[in-house]
Amino acid sequence: MMTAAAFLCYITGWMAVDEGLHGLAQKYYTKALELAGASSDYLTYCHVLRGMSVQAADLGHGAPATRLANAAATAAPMTGPLMRAFMAGQQAHSFALSGDRAAALRSIRETEKAMDAAGSGKTQLGGYTLATLAYHTAQVRYSLGDVAGSVDSLESHFQLRAPTDSRVTELRFRSMLAERQLELGHLELACGTWSQVLEKHPGIQSGAVDGFVANISRRLQPYRSSPVARKVYEESLPSVGC
C-alpha cells in the first residue's frame, strides 16, 4: 500500500509541475520519497529523485538538478542498460545546465551507448525511448550554446516519436522547437511549427502548454510586418468574450 501511495504522490507531484504549482509539487515529491523509503521501494525512490531533477532543470536551476540527478542514479536499484540510459540522460541535461560541458557530453554518450546495448527501440523504462534521448541531446546542445544542433535533435525527436506518445509533451517540445527556430532567424519555419501547436492546443489541458502558447504573441510581436507572422500572431491572441 505504501508503494502504491508513493507512486500516486509522485504522479500528483508531476501533475502539479505541469500546472506550474512548483511548491505543491515539491511537497508531493517529498512525501513520495518518504513513503518509498519506508517501504524499501528503491525503484520509485529513484524515479522521484529524477522527477525532482527534471523539475529543477525545467526551471533552469542547474546545480540542484545535477545534485538530484546524481542522487537518483546512486539510488537506482538496477544497473541494466535501460536504467543507465534513464538516469544518464537526465544527468547530461543537468550537467549542461550547470555549465559542465565535459560531464554533459560524457553522460549523453553514456546514454547513447546504453540505448544501443538495450537493443530494441520499443523497449523502455519510465517512458525512456530513442525519442527521449533525442530530446535530451537537444537540451544538452542548447544549454551548451549549440542552438542549430538543438533544433536538429528536436526534429529527430519528432521523427522518432510514437503515435501513442503524450500529446502534452508533443506540444511542449514543438513550442521549444519554434522558439529555437526563431532564435536562428527562421521566421517562417517557426511560424509553421507554432501553427501546429495552435491547431492542437484546444484539445489539451496543460498549464505548461498554455504558458508556451501565451508566449507566442510576445515573441512574434516584432515581426508583425510579415504576413505569415501576423497571421500566427493573431491566431495566438486569446479570444475576448462578448
Residues 131-177 have pLDDT tens digits of: 999 999 999 999 999 999 999 999 999 999 998 899 999 999 999 99
- Rounded Cα distance, 156 and 168, in Å: 18
Q: Please tell me the predicted confidence (pLDDT) of residue 79.
A: 78
200 three-class SS: helix
* Burial label, 173 (beta-carbon count in 10 A; 0-12, 13-18, 19+): buried
Q: 10 Å Cβ neighbour count for 79? A: 7
The whole-angstrom separation of Cα 173 and Cα 188 is 18
Q: Residue 71 and residue 66: Cα distance in Å, rounded? A: 8
C-alpha 136/C-alpha 61 separation (Å) is: 16
Question: Among residues 53, 55, 44, which one has the least CA distance to residue 10?
Answer: 44
End-to-end CA distance of the chain: 51
CATH of domain 41-165: 1.25.40.10
For residue 37, which of 87, 78, 2, 76 has the smallest C-alpha distance?
2
Could you give phi then psi for residue 173, rounded to 5 degrees?
Answer: -75, -30
The pLDDT value recorded for residue 186 is: 98
156's grid cell:
529527430
Cell numbers of 165, please? 506518445
SS3 230: helix
Alpha-carbon distance of 154 to 25, in angstroms, equals: 27
pLDDT at residue number 240? 41
Collect the ranges in the chain with pLDDT lower than 50: 240-242
The whole-number pLDDT of residue 120 equals: 60
The per-residue DSSP string of 111-179 comes to HHHHHHHH--TT--BTTB-HHHHHHHHHHHHHHTT-HHHHHHHHHHHHHH--TTS-HHHHHHHHHHHHH
**Cell numbers at residue 173, please?**
517540445
- Taking the C-alpha atoms of residue 127 and residue 164, their distance in angstroms, rounded to an integer, is 11
Q: Is 230 exposed, middle or buried (0-12, 13-18, 19+ CB in 10 A)?
A: middle
